[in-house]
Structures are given as C-alpha cells and as structure tokens.
Amino acid sequence: MPPLQRSGQIRHIAGDRELGTSIRHYYDLHALAATQDVQEFLGTEEHHQVIANYAEICADHFPSAILPAEMRLRESRALFPVGALANDLRERYESQIQLLSFEESPPTFAQVLSRLEMVRDGI
C-alpha cells in the first residue's frame, strides 16, 4: 500500500493528530482484556450503555471524532487492523512501547491483537 494511503488510514484512526504516545493504548487494552472484570462486563447492558454514552459525548464535544458505524467496535479497523494498516501500527507500537512500558518484555503487537481477538465477540 502506498505511504499516503497508509497515512490516510492512520489519520482515520487518529483523527487530525499523530498517534505518538497514544499507541500505548494498545498496551493498555491488552492488559484490560485479560482481567476477569472486563471479560464479565463486555456484552452486558451496562457495557452497551457506556458505549452509547461515549458516542453521545463524542458527538457533543468532539464532532470530528471518527467512530465505528453504529459503534460496532468488533468491526473497528483500529482494534482489528489487517494488512498494511496492521503493519504500520505494529511498527509504531514497537518503536514506542519500550519507552512507554514499565515491563522488561511488554507484549508484542501480535500478542495485543491476539488478546483483542479473544474478546471481539463481546464488544
């Protein structure tokens, strides 16, 4: 994929800003998805209400925010990237994670995506 098209996909995920240290959120999601509390929460009525509230807040306060259609997070290209986008995000993650993590061996991007895949049906 040409760099400009990849850049456009990253911009679609990040809005009008560079991902920079925000790439750390993948690390955070990896940790959260492993907890029993989060696994039990996903798919509940409360979970759906949180998603609805988030969408409403974004619409009111961040109208340029790019959200998945009808907040179907299981279809999010940011959470479940493929192809060149996944490669680009992996490179960004790997270039930042050693600086942003306190772990000696933080999860690889492949491990992050694998963990997210495990909870995909719940989101």
The secondary structure of 36-92 as a DSSP string is: HHHHHHTTSHHHHHHHHHHHHHHHHH-TT----GGG-GGG-TTTS--HHHHHHHHHH
pLDDT exceeds cutoff 90 at 108: yes
Please tell me the distance from the alpha carbon of residue 75 to that of residue 84, in angstroms, as a whole number. Answer: 17
For residue 99, the model assigns a pLDDT of: 86
Q: How far apart are CA 59 and CA 75, in angstroms?
A: 20
- Token pair of 68, please? 């998945």
For residue 20, pLDDT beyond 80? no
Question: Residue 7 is part of which domain span?
Answer: 3-122
- Percent of the chain beyond pLDDT 70? 84
Total domains, the chain: 1
- pLDDT score at 19: 67
Q: How many CA atoms lie within 13 A of 96 on its CB side?
A: 18
Most confident of 4-13, 20-29, 104-113: 104-113
Give the pLDDT confidence of 34-91 residue by residue, as tens digits: 999 999 999 999 999 999 998 899 889 888 777 777 788 888 888 999 998 899 999 9
Predicted pLDDT of residue 7:
41
pTM for the structure as a whole: 0.78
